[in-house]
Amino acid sequence: MLDTHARKYVQPSIEHTSKWLTTLGLTANQVTTIAFIIGIASGGIYALGFPILAVVALWLSGFLDAVDGTMARMTKPSSFGTVMDITFDRIVEISIILGIAYLHPEVMWPLLLLSVSIIFSMTIFLTVGAVSEKQGIKSFYYQAGVAERTEGFIFFSIMMLFPSILMWSTLAFFAVEVFTALQRFIEAKRILP
């Protein structure tokens, strides 16, 4: 929801950074890779016991993840870049979940439920994007929902920074993901033949 409705407020800084990185000679795919490395490092940093640094790394990764798409649209978007971007996003999420599970094995079941809900939601999201004739500014149809990338980062941040409510924040994230999946499924029924 925030990615769809609040992007306009951060887009100027994303565009400025995109132009700057382009003048440095970086490509969108290189920035995707940098964002990926920082993102997966976030889970490891958390597992080592540095939650604030892990959250900073996660958000830096997310910012660069937005920058790479803008860079691609400014230069030459590629289908493989889209595949890299979506795949690396899921691996970053897995890294965070594994880092949390390592430090807090007592919430293994809620983390497992969260993982299943992310798979459920992303399956619908990607399938609708693949079969839909609609096209957005991205290289496929982007189904908005209550839980988009920014909401996920907010939940992951809460989970990492406030371990005393970890079980409840994880279950809340799970519920929001399931709601989003159902929201996307209902929209798919409405827009697809």
Q: Which amino acid is at 92?
A: V
Check: CB of residue 61 under 8 Å from CB of residue 36. yes
65 is catalytic: no
Question: Which of 3, 65, 85, 89 is labelled catalytic?
Answer: 89
Task: List, by residue number, the catalytic residues.
Answer: 89
